[in-house]
Amino acid sequence: MNNPLPLLEEEGAEFLGQDAGIDRVSVLFTMPLPEPFDYKAPSSWGLVEGSHVIAPLGPNLYHGVVWRIDRDAPGAANLKSIDAVMESAPPLPEESRNFIEWSAKYVCTSPGNMLRMVLRSPEALAPSPVIITYAPATQVDVKMTDARSRVLAAAAEKADTPANLARRAEVTGSVVKGLIGAGALVRIDRLEDEPYPEPVLYPPPLAGEVAASRSEAPEGELSSVAAPSVSFADSSPVNGGALRRLSDLQQSAADELIAAVEKNEFRVALLDGVTGSGKTEVYLEAVAAALARDPTAQALVLLPEIALTQAVLERFESRFQTRPVEWHSAIAQKSRRRAWREVAAGRARLIAGARSALFLPFPNLRLIVIDEEHDPSYKQDEGVAYQARDLAVARAKQSDAVVVLASATPSLETFANAQSGKYAHIKLPVRHGVAVMPDIELVDMRMDPPDRGRWVSPKLTRAAAEALARGEQALFYLNRRGYAPLTMCRACGEKMKAPDTDSWLVEHRYSGRLVCHLTGFTMPKPKECPNCLAPEPFVSIGPGVERVEEELREMFPQARTEVFSSDTVQGGDEVRALVERMAQGEIDILIGTQIVAKGHNFPNLTMVGVVDADLGLKGGDLRAGERTFQLLSQVSGRAGRAERKGRALIQTYAPDEPIMQALKHQDRDGFLAAEAVAREQMGMPPFGRLGALIVAGPSDQLANEAAGTLGAAAPAADGVDVWGPAPAPLAVIRGMHRRRFLIRADRNVDLSAYITAWLGRVKLANSVRVQIDVDPYSFL
């Protein structure tokens, strides 16, 4: 392998002594190998555990990380040599290495695979480029012209590159060059990746504000760096915004979290607050306390879909007067390098990120906040499957840190832990300020059906009309992108499917295409049926958001109507713009998929209509009920976030189902209790453990054979049930034929060890893939 990374000059250094001065160095490579490999390196190289090195493996050289060092190890001289040290790469901190080892075991992958996830941004291993800038010399001794003095003035304001100076001073490059040549501008080298500004933890109170004395710190605890207990959050990043003071209820929730942080030991707290209760304001105080306690402490806030929900980052910015360091898939390579390196160096202190941010190389992570902890986006199903929330708790346990799990609709896992006292349970039962929870009504679609060919019941249209008449806004929710989920030939009944995947193609009218939502495959909508060749034969079956939009536009031709889904807005900027338009009242009716459920505040939105509440309940998923309840509560919670009371109407064909009744009566705890009973009876999570193996082969036969081999090798163990193999509900994806095993185990069983032992017994054909998913969320 050609490694593009910079190497140390000592490449190929000779080893002279025998054992003295020679260390045994175990190196973990970013490959699916079971363990690190041993090499020798002279002690004089100054390697430390975590150093990045280049070492030979077979005929090639690879990048790896030093996992262990035995100083002056007997016999080390006979080992192969490390080839080079990557000096410019910041060593991987101990916390990070421990986490890699633990999590690899837990998710049943090799530590090398886990390391690969941690080092997913190879650019981070190279040093920051240097930017050459110029500032005025102390003594300027040149003939002055107007152009020259403009350049010097610009450089005095801010040292800059020659090109920028020329642009800012509106002169040609030769003027700047002349000044450099004459010694009137002097060179200053600056790193492109500058350290991030420090968060301002406790801005001084404005005149007139009196900081109340803080509540007593627990006995024997550090109090010298203790924060004032009155918390301020400037509502605008640019000064001048009104200072925000926590309500008594919020303050006591914040105090509990702060006390946990100050204990400096492993703790998990569920911050359980209704939508709009101010959970964000509260956990930001815990962040401030964690960072104030120790000048090297780091805090990580995980946010679902962070690339799309930037508004919350603005709130961080107004609280800490600087933006948090961001980490998610949409950030540019340069920012990635800067973030990764600054985190590893311990200088980046407040990080906001998507699930993958958990794998950043924090040397001193003291607090992890998981906002909307129930959100399914914390679960990664592909590649190395993991649940970031669960791994975050394990990560915190290893380093005696605190975890705050925030949600209005906690997962059953978290709720059960809070009920049993394992997690602290901190409640915020009311909305902040004057906002009150909306009324939730069920619309029985059997009694109040929509007109033929329509999807929205007259009850909902009436409620929307009333809201619009009062100058308020309406939101319609349907968790289905596109126009229609199924396109069928009227003549022969052919259902349009993706060529290599066992799923229906979804019609998208805006783009005129049929799209597979699973693999992203798309094709233009054909003019004739591929099966019977009938011309223009297609009917669109079922609704997607585009279809609901069509209907509402007909019904409310005057209203300004928009669709909010990942097809209509791409990327953070477009989402921000749309959210802003909605918040400013420039949209009357918004129709959205689950993207609208996430944390947006629309003060003038008073009516929410759920078009198909039953949708998520189909499919036999373990968490289908829980997820539906969460999503519908979240979506309903968008209504009435300011002075005006909101109203949510939920269309369902099963209004008597316990879940619909729980939604109507806003009886979340009742719902969770019933869910818990059902899961406990089945020994399902969180009362039992679950794992999945998905065997995929390039043909039906190969998949069957592999599944048969695997099934026969399943170890017998007490408290473990193995179900399968069964054809996966999505039997073919991208041409791979899939079979599933489901493993249920009692809580006290080490499920990961069981699965690892099982797979260690079999050798499958190279073309067959086995995906391991400990605690699966997807059953497809």
Question: Can you tell me the distance from the alpha carbon of 371 to that of 359, in angstroms, rounded to the nearest whole number?
Answer: 17
CB nearer ligand ADP, residue 408 or residue 563:
408
CB nearer ligand ADP, residue 335 or residue 601:
601
Q: In the bound complex, what is the minimum distance in angstroms from residue 377's beta carbon to ligand ADP?
A: 17
Q: In the bound complex, what is the minimum distance in angstroms from residue 282's beta carbon to ligand ADP?
A: 7
Contacts of 368 (CB under 8 A, 6+ apart): 299, 300, 301, 302, 358, 392, 395, 396, 401, 402, 403, 404
- Is position 497 an interface residue for ligand ADP (rule: CB under 6 A)? no
Q: In the bound complex, what is the minimum distance in angstroms from residue 357's beta carbon to ligand ADP?
A: 19
- Is position 638 an interface residue for ligand ADP (rule: CB under 6 A)? no
244: region left, alpha or beta (phi > 0 left; psi from -120 to 50 alpha)? beta
Query: Quick one: which of 463, 402, 468, 410 has its CA closest to 438?
Result: 463
One of 113, 275, 407, 628 touching ligand ADP (CB under 6 A): 275
One of 38, 281, 626, 675 touching ligand ADP (CB under 6 A): 281
Residue with CB nearest ligand ADP? 278
Residues facing 367 on adjacent strands:
299, 402
Pick out residues in 421-480 that bind ligand ADP (CB under 6 A).
Answer: 432
One of 276, 482, 544, 688 touching ligand ADP (CB under 6 A): 276
Neighbouring C-alpha atoms within 13 Å toward the C-beta of 491:
11
Do β-strands 402-407 and 365-371 pair in parallel, antiparallel, or remain unpaired? parallel
- Which region among 23-31, 274-282, 488-496, 517-525 touches ligand ADP (by CB under 6 A)? 274-282
Size of the site for ligand ADP (CB under 6 A): 15
Helix axes 173-181, 146-157, angle to 10 degrees: 80
- Which region among 79-87, 91-99, 278-286, 682-690 touches ligand ADP (by CB under 6 A)? 278-286
Pick out residues in 312-371 that bind ligand ADP (CB under 6 A).
Answer: none
Question: Can you tell me the distance from the alpha carbon of 281 to that of 264, in angstroms, rounded to the nearest whole number?
Answer: 22
Question: Can you tell me the distance from the alpha carbon of 381 to that of 114, in angstroms, rounded to the nearest whole number?
Answer: 15
- Which region among 67-75, 134-142, 196-204, 273-281 touches ligand ADP (by CB under 6 A)? 273-281
The widest CA-to-CA distance across the chain, in whole angstroms, is 91
User: 380-419 mask for ligand ADP (x: CB under 6 A)?
Assistant: ----------------------------------------
Integer CA distances (angstroms), 130 to 90, 133, 276, 342, 720, in order: 17, 9, 45, 16, 57
CB nearer ligand ADP, residue 364 or residue 601:
601
CB nearer ligand ADP, residue 246 or residue 445:
246
One of 64, 273, 361, 572 touching ligand ADP (CB under 6 A): 273
Q: In the bound complex, what is the minimum distance in angstroms from residue 435's beta carbon to ligand ADP?
A: 7
- Is position 601 an interface residue for ligand ADP (rule: CB under 6 A)? yes
- Which region among 196-204, 275-283, 513-521, 523-531 touches ligand ADP (by CB under 6 A)? 275-283
Using a CB cutoff of 8 Å and minimum separation of 24, what contacts does 15-20 make? 15/40, 15/42, 15/77, 15/81, 17/77, 18/77, 19/72, 19/73, 19/74, 19/75, 19/76, 19/77, 20/72
Q: In the bound complex, what is the minimum distance in angstroms from residue 242's beta carbon to ligand ADP?
A: 8
CB nearer ligand ADP, residue 544 or residue 592:
592
Contact between 177 and 161 (Cβ < 8 Å): no
Residues facing 62 on adjacent strands:
55
Contact between 312 and 576 (Cβ < 8 Å): no
φ, ψ at 474 (rounded to 5°): -125, 145
CB nearer ligand ADP, residue 285 or residue 326:
285
Question: Can you tell me the distance from the alpha carbon of 581 to that of 759, in angstroms, rounded to the nearest whole number?
Answer: 53
Q: In the bound complex, what is the minimum distance in angstroms from residue 354's beta carbon to ligand ADP?
A: 18
Q: In the bound complex, what is the minimum distance in angstroms from residue 280's beta carbon to ligand ADP?
A: 3
- Which region among 117-125, 271-279, 669-677, 689-697 touches ligand ADP (by CB under 6 A)? 271-279
Q: In the bound complex, what is the minimum distance in angstroms from residue 247's beta carbon to ligand ADP?
A: 5
Query: Which 8-state DSSP code applies to residue 254?
Result: H
Question: Can you tell me the distance from the alpha carbon of 401 to that of 424, in angstroms, rounded to the nearest whole number?
Answer: 14
Query: Would you call 635 exposed, middle or buried from its count of C-beta atoms within 10 A (0-12, 13-18, 19+)?
Result: buried
Query: Quick one: which of 364, 405, 199 has its CA closest to 282?
Result: 405
CB nearer ligand ADP, residue 275 or residue 417:
275
One of 30, 51, 280, 473 touching ligand ADP (CB under 6 A): 280
Q: In the bound complex, what is the minimum distance in angstroms from residue 449's beta carbon to ligand ADP?
A: 34
CB nearer ligand ADP, residue 583 or residue 730:
583
Integer CA distances (angstroms), 259 to 192, 493, 662, in order: 39, 64, 34
Q: In the bound complex, what is the minimum distance in angstroms from residue 214's beta carbon to ligand ADP?
A: 17
CB nearer ligand ADP, residue 68 or residue 576:
576
CB nearer ligand ADP, residue 276 or residue 686:
276
- Is position 632 an interface residue for ligand ADP (rule: CB under 6 A)? no
Neighbours of 751 (CB within 10 A): 23
Where do runs of H (alpha helix) occur along 83-172?
94-107, 111-118, 146-157, 162-169
CB nearer ligand ADP, residue 281 or residue 626:
281
CB nearer ligand ADP, residue 284 or residue 613:
284
What is the Cα gyration radius of the chain? 30
Question: Can you tell me the distance from the alpha carbon of 706 to that of 762, in angstroms, rounded to the nearest whole number?
Answer: 9
Q: In the bound complex, what is the minimum distance in angstroms from residue 248's beta carbon to ligand ADP?
A: 10
Q: In the bound complex, what is the minimum distance in angstroms from residue 227's beta carbon to ligand ADP?
A: 16
Distance, C-alpha 484 to centroid of its chain: 29
One of 51, 277, 309, 593 touching ligand ADP (CB under 6 A): 277
- Is position 279 an interface residue for ligand ADP (rule: CB under 6 A)? yes
CB nearer ligand ADP, residue 251 or residue 652:
251
- Is position 531 an interface residue for ligand ADP (rule: CB under 6 A)? no
Q: Is 19 helix (H, G, I), strand (E, B) or coil?
A: coil
User: 223-262 mask for ligand ADP (x: CB under 6 A)?
Assistant: ---------------------xxxx--x------------
Do β-strands 439-444 and 769-774 pair in parallel, antiparallel, or remain unpaired? unpaired
Q: In the bound complex, what is the minimum distance in angstroms from residue 253's beta carbon to ligand ADP?
A: 10
Neighbours of 427 (CB within 10 A): 14
Integer CA distances (angstroms), 126 to 89, 90, 116, 333, 336, in order: 6, 9, 16, 12, 12
- Is position 310 an interface residue for ligand ADP (rule: CB under 6 A)? no
Contact between 315 and 278 (Cβ < 8 Å): no
Query: Given the rule CB under 6 A, which residues bind ligand ADP?
Result: 244-247, 250, 273, 275-281, 432, 601
